[in-house]
Amino acid sequence: MRLKNFSLNFCTQIFKSFSDEARVRILNLLFHHKELSISDLELILDFTQTKTSRHLIYLKNAGIVSYRKIDQRVFYSIKEEVIDLISRVFEYMNKDQILQSDLDIYNTLNSNRELAANKLSPRKLQTS
């Protein structure tokens, strides 16, 4: 479900979410890779567990991200109703060096199969 109109309050929450570099970096990775675990984000961004969790909770409470649990891991993704707006923002930031570096680190870790999504069996990912 995509929203056609945003309330002022919801739109304010979205823009507040973009006011912090750490949250922008998290959203960029989620936007480009659909779903990542907290441990993946920590590894890619070199954040502490506390910092990563704090920003993900902020994004969840703002109504921007959702999550699901698989075994002991929690995977976050951007909610479908805000994906259009977020894609527009990242269109303008697609050449930012920090964001590109984060995506390069993701690609390296993914090719080395160091990310949590790669460590779960395909059967578990499909049934949850």
Q: Where are the domains of the chain?
A: 8-127
pTM reported for the whole predicted model: 0.80
Long-range contacts formed by 82-91: CB under 8 A, 24+ apart: 82/3, 82/14, 83/2, 83/31, 84/2, 85/6, 85/14, 86/14, 86/27, 86/31, 87/31, 89/18, 90/27, 90/28, 90/31
pLDDT tens per residue, range 38-84: 988 998 998 998 999 999 999 998 889 999 998 888 899 999 888 88
Could you tell me the fold of the domain covering 8-127?
A: Arc Repressor Mutant, subunit A (1.10.10)
